[in-house]
């Protein structure tokens, strides 16, 4: 394919190209870099793999940080071309079987097209078309009402047809706007379900919205992709999603620390809550489309099979261990844990193997794991994606902060630091004398000495028991 588009092997074609982002260092399969500037990133998946929304989000992030004109996602048979800045969505797609019908689009990816600026011109043209057409459609009903109210003998349907002729026909001559699209029904070969239906125990593979089908691999993938689609249509009003709130947390936020499991909405600086079950995801999606003037009938989902994910509204009660280690701490699954999840389990093993009078771990709380002594919480571990907070109740008068810091090789937590500075502090420790507790903040890179850590826990436990007596 590269040779067909004049990308012959050489300095312009980089294989296994490293990309540095805020989240770390990644490797893109191919980077096409004429004049040493990345213009196209290519991510190649196995032929047997279906392309999904997680692949897309990953690739869009690569392209955004690398400032590439477009990015290509392919499994060899299916080819998708995305633009990460203006369109923020798919530019076009094709399969190998249908390649002959997409030669004009395909040629936009050629070396000559890139160097001459033809690809960028076409993307800008399509972006302008989409934005102007969105504006027309957004204001169309208001224009019709104004004309009918100030005229005699005109009906809304008549004005609607007049607008089509006056605007769309003129735009077609100029080549600036597409004609008003007809209403398209979802493909009949897919069993579509209403978003308003109950989907407990089901998994999702795609959804239908605004005359298009979108593949997704999870219920939170539905939430992310639908949010991105809504943003592309209602860019100017998208900030209204920041008003959506649950009982304790917002559903959308610009500050990702306000969310339990933040997921970036592609093309925006907004994050959406990813810690959702099927019922919670569909609830937020229904609220989302309603806020922008759509009904439940406008959003349909393709669901099937049994979902392995606990879909109750309180999954931490049914399986708290999976909730904390996988959902909250973002392990791949219960067998493939993150370093931070492993650190939590090491602390748990220290407590359970050496303190027979302590019960736990108790996983059934939403925000923390607890260990009890005498029926009361003695040690709690607040879980998170990037840090765990270990709260140890004790008689703080028996401890020196400097001594604890040296023993555990931890920084002393700077309580006077700004919020942003606190986020970047290393693993640290503090004494809360007014509450008689030690707080240890541990990050994934903390090199814990189990014996030393046990020494501190044992001393803290003994002081806690003595104080109660």
Q: How many domains does the chain have?
A: 4
Nearest to 275 by CA among 295, 248, 299, 298: 248
Residue 126 above 70 pLDDT? Answer: no
Place of tokens 């076009």: 92
Q: State what percent of residues in the chain have pLDDT above 70.
A: 80
| Whole-angstrom distance, CA of residue 405 vs CA of residue 440 | 10
Flag whether 313 is in a domain: no
φ/ψ of residue 319, rounded to 5? -150, 75
Question: 450-468 vs 339-354: helix axis angle to the nearest 10?
Answer: 50
pTM of the predicted protein model: 0.39
- Which pLDDT score is estimated for 369? 93
Flag whether 179 is in a domain: no
- With cut-offs at 50, 70 and 90, classify the pLDDT of residue 166: low
Are 196 and 271 members of one domain?
yes
Are 77 and 217 members of one domain?
no
Flag whether 186 is in a domain: no
Are 291 and 326 members of one domain?
no
- Which pLDDT score is estimated for 344? 94
CATH number at residue 84: 3.90.320.10
Which one-letter DSSP state was computed for residue 179? P
Minimum mean pLDDT range among 85-89, 180-184, 232-236? 180-184
Question: What is the domain extent for residue 232?
Answer: 192-304
Are 56 and 156 members of one domain?
no
Last residue of a domain, one of 304, 330, 358: 304
CATH number at residue 228: 1.20.1380.10
Residues 6 or more apart in contact with residue 312 via CB below 8 angstroms: 200, 277, 279, 318
Are 256 and 354 members of one domain?
no
Are 88 and 136 members of one domain?
no
Residue 189 above 60 pLDDT? Answer: no
Most confident of the ranges 161-175, 184-198, 322-336, 440-454? 440-454
- Which pLDDT score is estimated for 419? 59
What six digits make up the tokens of 160? 């609607």
Are 404 and 335 members of one domain?
yes
CA 219 → CA 2, 298, 302, 305, 409, distances in Å? 36, 17, 11, 14, 41
Flag whether 139 is in a domain: yes
Nearest to 214 by CA among 232, 235, 197, 198: 232
CATH number at residue 390: 3.90.1150.200
Grouping H, G, I as helix, E, B as strand and the rest as coil, residue 146 is helix
Residue length of the chain? 469
Are 207 and 251 members of one domain?
yes
Place of tokens 């190649």: 44
Q: How many CA atoms lie within 13 A of 461 on its CB side?
A: 22
Flag whether 283 is in a domain: yes
| Whole-angstrom distance, CA of residue 100 vs CA of residue 84 | 26
Are 330 and 441 members of one domain?
yes
Are 327 and 464 members of one domain?
yes
What six digits make up the tokens of 416? 């006077």
Q: Which residue has the higher pLDDT, 291 or 56?
A: 291
- Which pLDDT score is estimated for 346? 93
pLDDT in tens, 402-459: 999 999 999 998 877 765 566 678 899 999 998 899 999 999 999 999 999 999 999 9
CA 30 → CA 27, 80, 175, distances in Å? 9, 15, 34
Which one-letter DSSP state was computed for residue 36? G
Flag whether 311 is in a domain: no
Flag whether 185 is in a domain: no
Are 258 and 279 members of one domain?
yes
Q: Are 36 and 64 a contacting pair, CB within 8 Å?
A: no
What is the DSSP annotation of 239-305?
Answer: GGGGG-B-SSSBSEESSGGGSSSEEE-TTSS-EEE----HHHHHHHHHHHHHHTT--GGGEEEEEES
Are 208 and 144 members of one domain?
no
φ/ψ of residue 218, rounded to 5? -160, 170
Q: Which residue has the higher pLDDT, 222 or 57?
A: 222
Flag whether 159 is in a domain: yes
Sheet containing 299-304, strands listed edge to edge, beginning at the edge strand earlier in sequence: 192-194, 299-304, 203-209, 212-215
């Amino acid at each position: 394919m590269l040779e067909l588009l004049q990308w012959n092997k050489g300095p312009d074609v980089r294989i296994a190209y490293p990309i540095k982002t805020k989240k770390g260092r990644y490797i893109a399969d191919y980077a096409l870099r004429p004049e040493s500037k990345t213009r196209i990133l290519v991510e190649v998946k196995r032929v047997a793999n279906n392309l999904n929304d997680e692949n897309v989000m990953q690739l869009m992030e690569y392209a955004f940080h690398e400032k590439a004109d477009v990015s290509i996602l392919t499994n060899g048979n299916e080819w998708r071309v995305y633009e990460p800045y203006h369109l923020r969505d798919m530019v076009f797609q094709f399969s190998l079987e249908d390649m002959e019908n997409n030669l004009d689009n395909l040629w936009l990816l050629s070396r000559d097209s890139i160097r001459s600026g033809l690809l960028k011109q076409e993307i800008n043209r399509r972006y302008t078309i989409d934005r102007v057409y969105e504006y027309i459609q957004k204001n169309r009903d208001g224009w019709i009402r104004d004309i009918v109210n100030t005229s005699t003998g005109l009906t809304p349907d008549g004005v609607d047809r007049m607008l089509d002729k006056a605007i769309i026909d003129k735009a077609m001559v100029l080549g600036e706007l597409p004609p008003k699209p007809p209403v398209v029904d979802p493909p009949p070969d897919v069993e579509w379900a209403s978003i308003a239906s109950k989907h407990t125990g089901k998994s999702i593979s795609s959804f239908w919205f605004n005359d298009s089908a979108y593949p997704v691999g999870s219920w939170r993938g539905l939430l992310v992709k639908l949010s991105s689609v809504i943003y592309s249509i209602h860019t100017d009003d998208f900030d209204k999603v920041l008003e959506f709130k649950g009982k304790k947390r917002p559903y959308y936020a610009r500050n990702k620390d306000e969310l339990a499991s933040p997921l970036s909405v592609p093309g925006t600086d907004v994050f959406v809550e990813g810690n959702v079950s099927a019922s919670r995801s569909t609830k937020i999606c229904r609220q989302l489309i309603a806020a922008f003037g759509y009904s439940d009938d406008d959003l349909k989902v393709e669901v099937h099979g049994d979902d392995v994910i606990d879909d109750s509204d309180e999954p931490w009660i049914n399986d708290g261990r999976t909730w904390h280690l996988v959902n909250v701490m973002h392990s791949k699954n219960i067998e493939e844990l993150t370093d931070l999840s492993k650190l939590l389990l090491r602390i748990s093993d220290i407590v359970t193997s050496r303190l027979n009078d302590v019960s736990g771990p108790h996983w059934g709380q939403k925000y923390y794991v607890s260990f009890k002594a005498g029926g009361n919480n003695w040690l709690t571990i607040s879980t998170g994606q990037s840090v765990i907070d270990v709260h140890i109740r004790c008689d703080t008068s028996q401890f020196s902060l400097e001594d604890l810091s040296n023993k555990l090789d931890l920084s002393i937590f700077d309580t006077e630091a700004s919020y942003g500075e606190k986020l970047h502090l290393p693993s640290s420790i503090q004494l809360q004398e007014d509450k008689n507790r030690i707080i240890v903040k541990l990050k994934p890179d903390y090199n814990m000495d189990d014996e030393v850590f046990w020494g501190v826990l044992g001393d803290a436990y003994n002081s806690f028991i003595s104080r109660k007596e």
